[in-house]
Copies of this chain bind each other. A is one copy, B any other.
Amino acid sequence: MRITQYSDYSMRVLIYLHAKGEKRSTIQEIADAYDISKNHLMKVVNQLTQLGYVHAVRGKQGGITLARAAEQINIGVLLRETEQDLGLVECFRPGNTCTITPACRLTHVLREALDSFLAVLDQYTLADLVQPHHQPALARLLKIDAVQLETA
A residues contacting B by CB (< 8 A) are 1-4, 8, 11-12, 15, 33-35, 75, 83, 85-90, 97-100, 102-106, 109-110, 112-114, 116-121, 124, 128-131, 134-135, 137-138, 141-142
Chain B residue nearest in CB terms to A138: B103
Q: Are A106 and B89 in contact, with the CB atoms below 8 A?
A: no
Q: In the complex, which of the residues B3, B106, B128, B131 contacts A88, with contact meaning CB atoms closer than 8 Å?
A: B3
Q: Are A11 and B116 in contact, with the CB atoms below 8 A?
A: no
Q: In the complex, which of the residues B2, B89, B141 contacts A102, with contact meaning CB atoms closer than 8 Å?
A: B141
Q: Are A131 and B105 in contact, with the CB atoms below 8 A?
A: yes
Q: How far is the CA of A34 from the CA of B98 in the complex (A)?
A: 6
Q: In the complex, which of the residues B2, B4, B138 contacts A104, with contact meaning CB atoms closer than 8 Å?
A: B138
Q: Are A129 and B117 in contact, with the CB atoms below 8 A?
A: no
Chain B residue nearest in CB terms to A107: B129
**Chain B residues near A141 (CB, 8 Å)?**
99-100, 102-103
Q: In the complex, which of the residues B35, B103, B113, B131 contacts A137, with contact meaning CB atoms closer than 8 Å?
A: B103
